[in-house]
Amino acid sequence: MLVLGIETTCDETAAAVVEWQGDGPGKILSNVVLSQINEHAMFGGVVPEIAARAHVEALDGVIAKALSDAGRTLERIDGIAAAAGPGLIGGVIVGLTTAKAIALVSERPLVAVNHLEAHALTARLTDGTPFPYCLFLASGGHTQIVAVRGVGDYVRLGTTIDDAIGEAFDKTAKLLGLGYPGGPQVEIEAARGDPNRFNLPRPMAGRKDADFSLSGLKTALRLEAEKIAPLSDQDVADLCASFQRAVTDVVMDRLRAGLALFHDHYGAPRALVAAGGVAANQAIRKVLHRIAFEAGTVLVAPPLELCTDNGAMIAWAGAERLALGLTDTLDTSPRARWPLDNVSAHAAPAAATARRRV
Ligand code: KG4
Ligand code: ZN
């Protein structure tokens, strides 16, 4: 089964063609990602109106390239999937409306995919990871620990009560005068800094729940920076290293709590799965390996280009849903907010078991 996937929820205009072959990993026939980073860089963050307009201008060409890279015409495609949220609503409207138009003219089923669900299922595209597994999703907009028990069966074990981890990296970078997006810049600076120079807090450490809080850490960093301003290059590197060390400690502590909750409710996870742009960070990846080892499971960390936003993950989630007979109607609404545990598998006869909670 071949599915075309469209992603426009943030600042990447992306489309891909993916083949679903039953059990086991899928096959990516094409994966076109057009980043809008240059359009937003001068503002230090994503500007929703600019993003929506850029999606309108780029999307047709990106889809055409995805089809031609895959060597397939629309006649060969079995379903059209688009991220229908959560995300910046202008962009979501562009992607979902385009997908509806294509589905209508090509007489193919539409699958409205939850963007977070697509991140959650990527490990099955790349590695065929069996259910249930524990997902650590950390991006610019989300920080969540999720029990992934089946398609449409997600239980959120922990989330951030304020900033997302990627957002904290981005804000730290902005504060220190580094470029956008901040995560990679902070990681580069951290590599030549002293992680022990500044004593930053580890918010939520030791709590039994698996929630995160990042805003206090960001504020503590700002106060330390203000104390020693003006900052030398070494100060910036030391601040970045101390911040990154604090974040990795927080991730370690919160994931331990999340995996303990997973064990209590669902037994041993078949894997710890990393998703979202923050998983690109090598120090965080190291921690994830360690945590997975401690929990007696394996770490599945999809390649970088599939951890960050892309069309292949949308196409794959669409294919997984389509395989279960889950399709959506043309009056499906775009959604700015759409928590992962509100995703259902309602259209299929198997829904009752797929949605079962313990
Ligand atoms: O998943 P993603 O591409 O987009 C969404 O937010 O949905 O994640 C982007 C986020 C940004 O906040 C970026 O700063 C962060 O991931 N990021 C990193 C690194 N690379 C990207 N954070 C820390 N270290 C990195 N190397
Ligand atoms: Zn994302």
- 86-99 pLDDT, tens digit each: 999 999 999 999 99
CA-proximal residue: ligand 1, atom 18 (nearest): 183
Q: Between residues 81 and 54, which one has the greater pLDDT?
A: 81
In the prediction, which pLDDT does 353 show? 32
Residue pair 85/115 in contact (Cβ under 8 Å)? The answer is yes
pLDDT greater at residue 60 or residue 342: 60
Percent of the chain clearing pLDDT 70 (strictly above): 96
Query: Does the structure show a pLDDT above 50 at 356?
Result: no
Cα–Cα dist 338/206, whole Å: 29
Residue 43: pLDDT band with limits 50, 70, 90: confident
Tell me the C-alpha to C-alpha distance, in Å, between residue 74 and each of 66, 69, 103, 316.
Answer: 11, 13, 10, 17
Percentage of the chain exceeding pLDDT 90: 85
Residue that wins the pLDDT comparison between 36 and 313: 313
Q: Is the beta carbon of 182 within 6 A of some atom in ligand 1? A: yes
State whether the beta carbon of 140 lies less than 6 angstroms from ligand 1.
yes
Please report how the helices 311-323 and 115-127 are oriented relative to each other, as an axis angle in degrees rounded to 10.
90
* Number of the ligand 1 atom closest to the C-alpha atom of 276: 1
Ligand 1 neighbour 278 (Cβ under 6 A): yes
* Rounded mean pLDDT, 111-126: 96
CA of 240 to the centre of ligand 2 (A): 24
Average pLDDT over residues 167-173: 95
Q: Is 187 in the pocket of ligand 1 (CB under 6 A)?
A: yes
Q: Does residue 10 line the site of ligand 1, with CB under 6 A?
A: yes
CA–centroid distance, 332 to ligand 1, in Å, is 29
Q: Taking 80 as the threshold, does the pLDDT of residue 24 lie above it?
A: yes
Nearest-atom number in ligand 1 for the CA of 282 is 26
Ligand 1, residue 119: give the atom nearest the CA. 1
- Ligand 1 in reach of 277 Cβ (< 6 A): yes
Q: What is the mean pLDDT of the chain?
A: 93
Strand partners, 14: 7, 33
Tell me: pLDDT of 355 over 50.
no
- Sign of the C-alpha dihedral computed for residues 116, 106, 78 and 301 taken in this order: negative
